[in-house]
Structure 1
């Protein structure tokens, strides 16, 4: 990695996600360890919209080492299962955007886990809204409980046809 690229992996004092990691911004945290953090999206597409991030600041996924990408997506897999079970979702979307033209709003690697429900209009994203911190914390606790009780079984069945 050259000197210009290495600047993208340092903590960014202006990055809202770095501020959340440092405890300087409030968030409804579902899970964290030394390398990763999971919290609720303040502007959810649907109830239970969750973000999984590396704690270290990377602007895009291409700035990350393959090993770290693997760790990130292993956690995404576990969290997605917990989100689906906690919210009785019939499906879910996973999104990871890189760069402004790809609609990356926060320039810190993050993966969206968006639970989907049968009563949504098919093929359309629901409109975003601003959720209250109490609402986010309540949903985070439900997801956390399912994450802590992680098993390989699903409590709900996804609709696949």
Structure 2
């Protein structure tokens, strides 16, 4: 397996590291959506967040507030989005779990994809199906 993020973690590839501890690393996104866009990831390789034990997911997200506060202070951003993509169809480009911290600037604006409008009956039916699947796991 040749994973770009594993290569960065193992110091085989350069990156702009902004945070590192024994189990996680955060780097600047090479192709940022906004100034300050960064990625937080576990050092252990997992392709998708559903492949990770719950405690590791919690540990990953526990690093986000410190890093986000530091990004906001350094960039002067007014807010930020957190994103976490799983699989190619969800726009996951690198198959190694990572959390995007994307600073947002009031003066620049923020575009979101067009949203779907769902009927209440459809939402009720889907919610029930999701709950039923949770019970069977």
| TM-score of the two chains, using structure 2 as the length reference | 0.79
Structure number with the bigger relative contact order (C-alpha 8 A, sep ≥ 6) is: 1
| Greater gyration radius | 2
Q: RMSD value over aligned CA atoms?
A: 1.3
Matches within 5 A, 1:11-160: 12=1, 14-124=2-112
Structure 2 Cα separation of the partners of residues 28 and 46 of structure 1: 16
| Alignment gaps of 5+ in structure 2 | 114-137
In the comparison of the two structures, how many residue pairs are matched? 113
Q: Secondary structure at the match of 1:89?
A: coil
Secondary structure of 2:26 counterpart: strand
Distance 2:99 2:110 in 1: 22
Q: After the TM superposition, which parts of structure 1 deviate over 6 Å for at least 4 consecutive aligned residues?
A: none
Deviations 1:77-117 (A, max 9, x none): 21111111111111111100001111100000000001010
- Partner residue, 2:118: none
Q: Distance in 1 between matches of 2:87 and 2:23?
A: 22
- Gaps of at least 5 residues in structure 1 are 1-11, 126-161
Shift of 1:23: 0.5
